[in-house]
């Protein structure tokens, strides 16, 4: 499959399984109880049916990213595009949520989400660096 150390491949597989679980852990409550999840994250009620649908849709995207990360876990060398897309999504979401938190628009629960996504983005950057160093094409 590659010239990567088997332990490195195992690390990548575990990383992307954990990434998928992280996404599913947020997405499932966001999909099944969007109003409750919004209240936990932002400390206020969500009652507008259009905004509930938009918020639920955002969690639907996170849910799909979870399946993408499972694909990457199956073949970490092949699916770099999924990691780029998912990592960019995590980075942009964390930045936006950080901005909202700094403006007092979120609850402290948002800090957990921000820090988790920052850790994953850092791991994804390391993933790309390791692949590049091993001579793999990144895209």
Q: Is residue 95 classed exposed, middle or buried when 0-12, 13-18 and 19+ CB atoms within 10 A define those classes?
A: middle
What is the per-residue pLDDT across 47-61, written as a single tens digit (0 to 9) for each? 999 999 999 999 999
What is the per-residue pLDDT across 70-122, written as a single tens digit (0 to 9) for each? 999 999 999 999 999 999 999 999 999 999 999 999 999 999 999 999 999 99
Q: How far apart are CA 117 and CA 29, in angstroms?
A: 17
Q: What is the pLDDT of residue 139?
A: 78
E strand or H helix at 8: helix 6-32
Q: What is the pLDDT of residue 2?
A: 63
């Amino acid at each position: 499959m590659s010239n990567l150390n088997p332990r490195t491949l195992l690390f990548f597989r575990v990383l992307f399984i954990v990434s998928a679980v992280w996404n599913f852990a947020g997405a499932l409550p966001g999909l099944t109880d969007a109003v409750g999840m919004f209240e936990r994250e932002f400390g206020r009620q969500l009652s507008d049916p259009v905004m509930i649908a938009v918020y639920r849709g955002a969690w639907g995207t996170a849910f799909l990213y979870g399946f993408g990360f499972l694909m990457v876990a199956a073949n970490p060398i092949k699916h770099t595009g999924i990691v780029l897309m998912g990592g960019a999504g995590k980075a942009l979401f964390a930045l936006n949520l950080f901005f909202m938190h700094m403006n007092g628009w979120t609850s402290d629960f948002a800090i957990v989400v921000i820090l988790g996504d920052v850790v994953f983005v850092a791991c994804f950057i390391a993933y790309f660096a390791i692949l590049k160093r091993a001579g793999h094409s990144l895209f």
